[in-house]
Chain A
């Protein structure tokens, strides 16, 4: 049975082994005179559920997927080549566009990497404002992820509820920097603008409402019996597989490993805040299934709200931009370094080689969605087509950063 595909046991069916057509060990279909064949279908690049221009070439036998091959590159915008030709300061708006749902985190990663190499000291108030912006963006990104995940499995209403909250966050972020999606707010050396009058009380008002709204969302979608049936025991990623395939972020935490870069290698000011790192424990099914990853995202939103509250109480007055940043337009310090930050999707890393010029010699982006997507070729075979949609939704990819 060289090419047999064994399905994983699910809540409604035991594990079954399929011997595929074309395998010499398959018994001849003598009792039926209908010849079945394997069908190759394309999911994407235009598809409501692939969260962007992703093409997954799927080979199906009936409803069971036998082979899957993700085909990316539809959104490739030559990010790394551009990083070599524009200066570091000019490159910051480009970083917004990779993971456009968590643009603040992208800005932050790049600015921290450049600041490390160019030895720029960022004032403390700016770091607190950065933390607030980044964590609010994390909540917005997770809201989008869980909302569209509900849409993927057919629940249309929770999407609107999630977006009601996301709309609030986007309004808050627009107040401080003028943009709703691609902020270009965190600059090298600090932030673009100080918190205006009334911004902080508005955030606190939002956070007070947010907790109860999250409970409402949980009642509607998370504990819904049909949703649990669709996502529990589906797409189980074992911890060994997750580590082997370079998966980070909520996907890794959903498989049970308490690994968060904000704890392991703290950057910014994360060692001053108290927050938990949620992991998936297999409440509804197996550890590492789609429901666990989804549950980790829900819990992380609560933790981000906690961090924002602590950042607001601890924030001092002061400058918001470092003093000696202007010279970076003309020269920088030589060196190469890698800095990894915790994006809502995983570990976002920037590896910069600088030779003292204002532009980098090499700027390489380690996109978490790129690495998370590579497990799809191993995870999809053996699942049903509807499960494939649920699994792709639970990886929470953004094609902007997969393709860069």
Chain B
């Protein structure tokens, strides 16, 4: 089942509102609007002909503004969440994206649909700073609980100190 076919199946099942296809130079992905995420995700898991029961990964990326050679804005700043799910029965891998505006990185949690998303969403919250509404226990997972900032953002400023540890040390190799 290709991504095209899955998108057509979703449209046939009445969930096509707002869906679009991201062709991409390599892997295609279905772009799902933020409000439709939980409905689409639930349908992907429960529908017999789709049966995407294995959530592989939830990835969050901070997308910075991209301008082309003429200075025209090609990509708005924002966040992008991409979900990869596999269907065991249909031997398929599907990627679907949710684009979030830069000022409001919140989205509904899918951990009620795929419990695997629990930890992936915690990691995305920890490192990228996307908040998941409805998550049972959204706290930092990899970094200490009192860490400030979200490191995987492109504008992350490295901290100068953490508690009483000084982080501004010279590396042992020569620097310019």
Contact = CB atoms under 8 A, between A and B. Distances in A.
A73 B143 contact: yes
Nearest to A77: B142
Query: Dominant SS at the A interface?
Result: mixed
A54 to B, nearest CB: 12
A326 interface: no
A335 B118 CA distance: 28
Contacts of A94: none
Nearest to B25: A335
Interface string A235-247: 0000000011111
A245 B119 CA distance: 10
B161 to A, nearest CB: 17
A177 to B, nearest CB: 26
Nearest to B61: A362
B36 interface: no
A403 B126 CA distance: 12
B57 A364 contact: yes
A351 B114 CA distance: 20
A interface, size bucket: 35 or more
B37 interface: no
Given A338-B84, A338-B93, A374 B119 contact: yes
B56 interface: yes
B88 A336 contact: no
Contact of B27 (A246, A336, A364, A370): A336
Nearest to A78: B151
B100 interface: no
B26 interface: yes
Contact of A243 (B54, B127, B143): B54
Interface string A356-399: 00000110101000110110001000000000000000000000
A404 B141 CA distance: 12
A351 B84 contact: yes
A354 to B, nearest CB: 9
Contacts of A72: 141-142
B42 to A, nearest CB: 13
Interface stretch (A39-47, A257-265, A306-314, A317-325): A257-265
B116 A244 contact: yes
A264 B91 CA distance: 6
Nearest to B64: A361
Given A72-B142, A76-B142, A340-B56, A265 B91 contact: yes
Interface string B51-68: 001111101010000100
B44 interface: no
12 contacts: A73-B140, A73-B143, A80-B127, A81-B152, A117-B26, A245-B116, A259-B88, A337-B26, A340-B56, A351-B84, A371-B119, A373-B119
Interface of A: 72-73, 76, 78, 80-81, 116-117, 243-248, 257, 259, 264-265, 333-338, 340, 347, 349, 351, 353, 355, 361-362, 364, 366, 370-371, 373-374, 378, 403-404
The 9 A-B residue pairs with the shortest CB-CB distance, nearest first, are A246-B116, A335-B26, A335-B25, A73-B142, A337-B26, A337-B27, A366-B57, A374-B119, A76-B142
